[in-house]
């Protein structure tokens, strides 16, 4: 996965994550009941104090939210595009995934999906390369970098996925792949964008053009920044769930299917 670090706060937390290693908080009980309104108000004050302490101890960190978790004395802290856990005094920080042992559910992943979900129908799909496989009945959007090795791995995994329409947003990360934008423009300017994209990943072949046609790279960059896309590939499923990384084919199929089911439920709930 290719990462794009665009702020001092992300660099600070990246260094923190490396220093702490892959720490995990594994609860040994189920989720607690929701707090009463009085207790919720008190927790809000405690959360504000936790936020203040974090920003004092880690210069440059921008904390988006702090809530009391239902597991022990842990507080769930959301900043930029990551969740960490700490105590009321911020005497430690846990970087990693929190699992509920009763349900075997990754609670960190579930919360991230909730916080980062987008409305798929609001995506500017005209800015993407559209590829229809089979009947194209299912939907998947991808932010991809032409020179990203993990994007190449994802393209290989996608070969076995059928009956899906794939929208690929060209998202070159200049810091890591300085030639990717040039290649992306050439692919976009090809008469058959899908064929050009597939040929590039299959053999490294680029279309014969100068890449000077109108292209959406500036717009897709702005879209990715708005959605806090910081890695390639980043996948967006029909229900708006956003997952970074080159998922294996079996996981891709499961996520696409689940995304369609959840999208249908969301649509039904709006009626």
Higher pLDDT, 230 or 5: 230
Higher pLDDT, 33 or 233: 233
pLDDT tens figures, 82-96: 889 999 999 999 888
Are 213 and 190 in contact by the 8 Å Cβ rule? The answer is no
pLDDT tens figures, 67-83: 888 888 899 998 766 88
Say which residue the tokens 């490396």 belong to.
18
CA 169 from centre of chain: 14
The beta strand positions in the chain, using DSSP E, are 2-3, 65-68, 75-79, 82-86, 93-95, 99-100, 105-106, 129-133, 138-144, 164-170, 231-232, 234-237, 242-244
192 confidence band (pLDDT: 50, 70, 90)? very high
Q: What pLDDT is stored for residue 7 in this prediction? A: 35
Average pLDDT over residues 161-173: 97
| CATH 3.40.30.10 domain range(s) in the chain | 120-270
Going by C-alpha positions, the residue among 147, 131, 126, 127 that lies closest to residue 216 is: 127
State in words which class domain 120-270 has.
alpha beta
**How buried is 178 (Cβ within 10 angstroms: 0-12 exposed, 13-18 middle, 19+ buried)?**
exposed
Best mean pLDDT range from 4-13, 24-33, 210-219? 210-219
Average pLDDT, the chain: 84
Going by C-alpha positions, the residue among 142, 133, 132, 115 that lies closest to residue 220 is: 142
User: Global pTM?
Assistant: 0.72
pLDDT tens figures, 15-62: 454 444 433 333 333 333 334 444 445 557 888 888 889 888 888 778
Which DSSP helix (H) or strand (E) runs through 159?
Answer: none
Alpha-carbon distance of 109 to 37, in angstroms, equals: 27
Phi, psi at residue 109, to the nearest 5°? -60, -45
Q: What pLDDT is stored for residue 236 in this prediction? A: 97
Q: What pLDDT is stored for residue 155 in this prediction? A: 97
Q: What pLDDT is stored for residue 209 in this prediction? A: 95
CA dihedral of residues 216, 222, 227, 230 (deg, nearest 10): 90
Q: What pLDDT is stored for residue 1 in this prediction? A: 53
Of the candidate ranges 102-116, 128-142, 207-221, the one whose mean pLDDT is the lowest: 102-116
Q: What pLDDT is stored for residue 42 in this prediction? A: 54
Going by C-alpha positions, the residue among 268, 255, 270, 257 that lies closest to residue 113 is: 255
Average pLDDT over residues 109-117: 76
Say which residue the tokens 């290719």 belong to.
2
Q: What percent of the chain has pLDDT over 70?
A: 83
Alpha-carbon distance of 143 to 226, in angstroms, equals: 13
Average pLDDT over residues 103-119: 81
Alpha-carbon distance of 62 to 58, in angstroms, equals: 9
């Amino acid at each position: 996965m290719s990462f794009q670090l665009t702020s001092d706060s992300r660099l600070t937390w990246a260094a923190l994550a490396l220093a702490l290693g892959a720490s995990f908080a594994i609860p040994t009980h189920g989720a607690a009941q929701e707090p009463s309104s009085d207790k919720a108000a008190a927790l809000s004050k405690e959360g504000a104090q936790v936020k203040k302490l974090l920003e004092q101890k880690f210069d440059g960190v921008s904390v988006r939210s702090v809530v009391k978790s239902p597991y022990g004395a842990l507080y769930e802290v959301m900043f930029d595009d990551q969740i960490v856990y700490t105590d009321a005094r911020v005497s430690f920080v846990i970087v990693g995934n929190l699992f509920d042992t009763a349900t075997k559910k990754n609670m960190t992943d579930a919360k991230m999906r909730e916080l980062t979900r987008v409305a798929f129908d609001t995506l500017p799909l005209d800015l993407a390369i559209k590829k229809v496989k089979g009947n194209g009945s299912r939907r998947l959007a991808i932010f991809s970098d032409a020179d990203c090795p993990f994007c190449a791995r994802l393209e290989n995994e996608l070969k076995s996925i059928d009956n899906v329409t794939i929208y690929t947003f060209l998202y070159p990360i200049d810091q890591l792949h300085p030639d990717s934008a040039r290649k992306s423009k050439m692919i976009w300017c090809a008469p058959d964008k899908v064929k050009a994209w597939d040929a590039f990943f299959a053999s490294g072949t680029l279309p014969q053009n100068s890449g000077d046609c109108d292209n959406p790279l500036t717009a897709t960059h702005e879209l990715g920044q708005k959605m806090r896309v910081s890695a390639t590939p980043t996948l967006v499923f029909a229900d708006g769930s956003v997952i970074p990384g080159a998922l294996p084919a079996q996981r891709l199929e499961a996520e696409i299917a689940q995304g369609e089911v959840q999208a249908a439920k969301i649509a039904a709930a709006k009626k």
